[in-house]
Amino acid sequence: MAEPSSAKGPKGKVPHYVRDTVVLALVAFVTVFLARAYFRSLEAVPVGTFLTLQMRLRPAPRPSGAVAIVVIDDRTLERFGRDSLSLAEYAALISALKNYRTAIVALVLDPEVFYRNGSDADRGILANAIKAQGATYLPSVFSSEESSDSYSLSSDRAVSAAGAVQYEVVRVAALPHHRVRAILMEPSSVQVSRTYLGPPAALAKVSAGTAYLNYATWGCWSGACAAQIADATQLQNRYYAPLMVAVASRYLQNKPARLVVGDGEAAAYLGDDRLPFWVNVRSPGAFAEFSASDVVDGKVPQSAFESKIVLIGYAGDILTTYAGPRTLAEFHASATEDAVSGHFIRSNSAIEALFWLLLVATTGLGGLGWCASLPPSSATWYSFGAITLMAMAIVAIAVYDMSVRGVIYFGASYAPSLIIAGILATAITALRRKREQRLLRAAFEHYLDPKVVNAIVANSASLQPGGTRHHVSVLFADIVNFTAKAESEQPEVLIEMLNDFMAVMTDLVTKTGGVVDKILGDCVMAFWGAPVGTVINSPARMALECGLDMHEELKRLRDKDPRFGDFSIGIGIATGEAIVGNLGGARRFDYSVVGDVVNQAARLEALTRYYEAPILVNAETYREAGSDYAASDLGFVEVKGKQQPIAVWQIAGRRSIARG
């Protein structure tokens, strides 16, 4: 039954699992890039949710004390007897802050309500207060929608004339890697707008500038949302800065605010510092907050506002952040503190993103490639396990980056792509394995026992030379006086007779759960108890049943086919420990059984002629097979190759019809 085969293939040939790993890597990377380039909506939910969870891992750093808040609370509204302050009352508040020697005042108010409230006279009073204070920033908002509102502007020149703070724009040529960068990372946040809502000209003229309050919350999970301010807002050909940039630039002695713009990329800088606008939302009470009523009445200590940035906002303007609900003034205070102190939540760079992606993908896909070399029954589960490990690696990297380095890792944006890639890779692996199994089965099924073929197909690694120890029963069945018959028959007739005889005998071996090891001319060698996956409670009983069936089948052959009229067989069966496996070299081997038990079975078969017995077995076979057989003890017999005699039993037949 020897059949040439190669576990590793010809010298220099790449192992199949290496080829599978390369295929899986190509499939995964192509899928990741296509998904991120053309199907970003697929990733929106996990990305946002993942960012929210990351941000909650790291407590926001303590404020530096450069920012304070004046809150228009219920006590203030009760004092003035209305739901909102008038422009004249805002003027009184700003004038009071001037007396506190405040460095900068920023109004965090809804522009749509604020600028429409009051008369021209009130606007004049407010304009005088703003001018006297000398460093007051007014709120504005940009919108991507068209508007016919008389307060809205749609021309970049008009917006610039209205005092909107602009970036100093630095344009660069498109970098060769910009598309890869955009795919690897979340693209820079530039909001494209069509309209602008800001202050009237009289107020804009005397202010330090107007800056937008636009923000976005997304990835909400369990009542918490990631909070982001756009890097810049583009209206036609100009780029405008958010409130935090405008205020921080002035506070840091007019540090230049620049926006580097390239094809598909934009990056905001304050001086040399990159400004990622994920906001480190501080805890409640982190910033000093004072009631506007107390400020107007002069009840606040001078040190509370002197040389500081003061944001004015309503207590009722609430937004949801990853850290919980915060007032709009608290949110922008956190953003301004980030810009002033440099305590950013930073996005990972393209190089970092590529490094982590390659690390996770290489590790995970290496695991998938290893899974491809496993049996199909377990490869699928191991493949899903590899995908799970990749996901866990992404989470671990994100936890480390955020909790230790304060860096947002956009790994969640890879998760859907990697999962899809993993599923596709698993499917490809399964198809490749099925094809390999068909080829193996076609190559071996006519030469090897079906059980051996099944074991090889289930685990091609079983083609490696080597063996394992098993408890087996070995049977030798030989035609008596066949040599004399061979001398009197033509070879063609003899071969035909042998084929018919062996077809019947080998079928009996298979039916009783055995493996045909070899056909040695007129002798059949078979064993029970292996390979792995073959479950037999009593190999000895099955071997003995097969031997008895062989004699019964031979009797039927003699009755119906005169060619077998003078055929008789001797059978020897021995049970014990043996090594079963692929014996030989890497290029040619037999799947066989080796051990003393094999020699015993062969010697017992030879003794059947001396004792004129149909079946001889060793003591281990008789004990294991049970008492359902008519047997006689022949005592201890010396056999060739054994220094000590062995106990031999002759089996005459079954005591009953029952079989194991």
Q: What would the pLDDT profile of 461-480 be if each residue is shown by its tens digit?
A: 555 677 888 999 999 999 99
Claim to verify: residue 196 and residue 317 sit in the same structural domain: yes
Query: Within this chain, do residues 130 and 199 fall inside the same structural domain, yes or no?
Result: yes
Domain tally, the chain: 3
Amino acid (1-letter code) at residue 475: L
In this structure, is residue 50 part of a structural domain?
no
Average pLDDT over every residue of 189-217: 86
Distance CA 162, CA 232 (A): 17
- Rounded-to-integer distance, Cα 46 and Cα 241, Å: 29
The pLDDT tens digits for 502-539 are 999 999 998 888 888 899 889 999 999 887 555 678 89
Written as six digits, the tokens of 383 are 């493949």
> According to the model, what pLDDT value does residue 10 have?
44
List CB contacts of 305: < 8 A, sequence separation 6 or more: 68, 97, 100, 101, 102
φ/ψ of 443, rounded to 5, equals: -75, -30
Distances (CA, A) of 23 to 27, 107, 261, 355, 432: 6, 58, 38, 21, 11
Between these two residues, 449 and 35, which has the higher pLDDT value? 449
For residue range 549-578, list pLDDT tens digits in order.
Answer: 999 999 999 999 988 988 899 999 999 999
Residue 550 structure tokens = 């062989």
300 and 331 assigned to the same domain: yes
Mean pLDDT, residues 376-388: 66
The reported pLDDT for the residue numbered 187 is 47
- Of 343, 360, 377, the one marking the end of a domain is 343
Same domain, 505 and 549: yes
CATH number of the domain within which 643 lies: 3.30.70.1230
DSSP 592-639: EEESHHHHHHHHHHHHHHHHT-SEEEEHHHHHHH-S-EEEEEEEEE--
Measuring CA to CA, which residue among 300, 269, 287 is closest to residue 328?
287
Q: In this structure, are 268 and 302 located in the same domain? A: yes
pLDDT of residue 647: 94
Verify that 433 and 473 share a domain, yes or no: no
Cα(107)–Cα(213) distance, rounded to whole angstroms?
10
pLDDT at 39 over 50: no
User: Domain for residue 454, yes or no?
Assistant: no
How much is the average pLDDT of 39-59? 57
Does residue 232 share a domain with residue 328?
yes
The residues facing 228 across adjacent strands are 216, 278
The answer to the question of residue 457 being in a domain is no
User: Is 458 inside any structural domain?
Assistant: no
Summarize pLDDT for 322-357 with one digit per residue, the tens: 777 899 999 999 999 989 988 877 766 666 766 766
Q: Which helix (H) or strand (E) holds 319?
A: strand 318-321
Q: Which range, of 326-340, 381-395, 482-496, averages the lowest pLDDT?
A: 381-395
Residue 367 has pLDDT above 80, yes or no: no
Better-predicted residue by pLDDT, 373 or 259:
259
Domain-located, residue 49: no
Domain coverage including residue 602: 465-654
Element (H, E) at 235: strand 232-235
- Residue 578 CA to residue 270 CA, distance in Å, equals 78
The position carrying tokens 């008009």 is 158
pLDDT in tens, 135-175: 999 999 988 887 666 567 777 778 877 788 998 888 776 54
One domain for residues 470 and 536: yes
Residue 659 lies in a domain: no
Q: H or E stretch including 369? A: helix 350-372
Residues 368, 495, single domain; the answer is no
234-292 pLDDT, tens digit each: 888 889 999 999 999 999 998 998 888 876 567 788 888 877 667 888 888 899 999 99
Domain co-membership, 123 together with 37: no
Asked which of 399, 414, 444 is the last residue of a domain, the reply is 444
Residue 9 counted as domain residue: no
As a residue count, the chain comes to: 660
Same domain, 471 and 524: yes
| Cα-based torsion angle of the residue sequence 398, 402, 403, 404 in order, rounded to the nearest 10 degrees | 100
* pTM, 2 dp: 0.58
Assigned domain for 617 exists? yes
The pLDDT confidence band at residue 13, using thresholds 50, 70 and 90, is low
**Which residues neighbour 479 within 8 Å (Cβ) at sequence distance 6 or greater?**
485, 501, 522, 523, 567, 568, 569
Pair of tokens at residue 249: 């630039």
Domain final residue, candidates 309, 343, 377: 343
| Together in a domain, 295 and 192 | yes
- What would the two tokens of residue 265 be? 């990329």
